[in-house]
Structures are given as C-alpha cells and as structure tokens.
Homo-oligomer: A and B are copies of this chain.
Amino acid sequence: MTVTSPPPSTPEGYAAAVVDILGALAYAELSAFSQLAADANMAPTHQLKADVSALAVAEFLKYEALDERLISLGSSADEAMTPFTAAFDGFHKRTQPSDFLEGLVKAYVGDGIAQDFYREIATFLDPDTRDFVLTVLAARPAKREFIVGAVRSAIDDDPRRGGRLALWGRRLVGEAITQAQGVIVERDALSAILVGGIDGVGADLAEIGRMFARITDNHTKRMERLGLSA
C-alpha cells in the first residue's frame, strides 16, 4: 500500500509520519501481547505460565502508553495501527511456535530484535517523540532472563533441541527483517523519515544497511546467551 500524504519535510507530513511510526509500534505491542498470552498457555508449570504472562502484560502496558500518545496527537492506536496489522499478523502466522520452547525463544530473540529496531528508528525522530519512544520501550522492563535458564536446561536434557532451536532462531530473524524492510518500503512516510530525516538529517542507504547489521549482531549475541548458534 502506498500512502499519498504530504512529505515529511512539511509539518503536516512529519506529524503524519510520527502517527504512522507510533501506530506500527502500537500494533507490534498489541500483537506481541496476544502471542505471548497464547504461548503462556503452553507452559509446563504455573510459574513459567506466570513468567510468560508477565512478558505479555509488559507489552500491553506499552500499547496503552502509545494509544494515549496517539490520542493526544488527534489519532488513536485503533486508527493508526490499521495499515500495519496485515504485516504483523502475517509475521506471527509464519512464526507460530509449535511448542513452549519455540515460544520462549521467540519471546527472547523476537522481542529483542523489535526493541533494537524501534530504538534505531527513534534516533530519526524529533527529541520529544524520541524521548517518548525510548521511555515507553524502557518502561516496566520485561523480565526475560528466566528464558535463558529454561532454554539452556531444556537443551541439556536433550541436546538435539539445540539444533532445532538454532534453526528456529535463524528463521525468526529472517522473517523479522523481511517484515521490517517491507514495512519501511511500503510506507512512504516511514522511508522518507529514515532517508530524509527531519531537518534533512536522515540516513543514506548505507546507514540503513549498518542499522540492520547492528540489529543482527545483537541477535547473534542473544542467540549465544541462549546457548544457540546463530
């Protein structure tokens, strides 16, 4: 879908682009909530169910903050996230965990990639919006570290799981980056901000390439922490 809106170099165009970015982020959070809440139902213990549910809740509280901000900008999450629902729903459909362990790995590496990506995007925004996005992302930090222990001990119990989960992690990062690139290309406002920036201080294509390189580097470190080869 190509959106014909004023270019982001105009105030109206820039405001529309901010709504676009916050809308994408809102649906990322809302769909992550649904996915994690569903994953929690596969948990083998009530403690793990509560731990994964807590991750879901952390995502939803970020969604709420984004909705409030969008309302203050004259839009709403409901409205602003509409252009992005198909892409995110497609991502979750293509990366539906087949068991609890796959869900844990997705929660750990998928959420990590998403957070990195939005932090990178934030650097292209005006200071006020940037601070807002960074505050939302840092609020109620998800307690994901229990995943490291759970995944490592599952691999200790049955080392064959390591190979399967490593493949799963590679698929997740591939799908996530494909989706992120697709969203950027499809949404004129988003790519104009990334390439043109505000005040013309944007990224060139080489910089966008480096951004994705940084994101995959961090992904590799997260996979290593889980005991998986990236």
A89 CB, nearest partner CB in chain B, Å: 11
Asked if B53 and A33 make an inter-chain contact with CB atoms under 8 angstroms apart, the answer reads yes
Output the least CB separation between A91 and chain B (Å).
Answer: 16
**A residues 56-91 with Cβ under 8 Å of B?**
56-57, 60-61, 63-64, 67, 77-78, 81-82, 85
A37 at the interface (CB under 8 A from B): yes
**Nearest chain B CB to A161's CB is how many angstroms away?**
25
Contact of A64 among B27, B54, B63 (CB under 8 A): B54
What is the distance, in angstroms, from A223's C-beta to the closest C-beta of chain B?
A: 28
Residues of A within 8 A of B (CB): 27, 30, 33-34, 37-38, 40-41, 45-47, 49-50, 53-54, 56-57, 60-61, 63-64, 67, 77-78, 81-82, 85
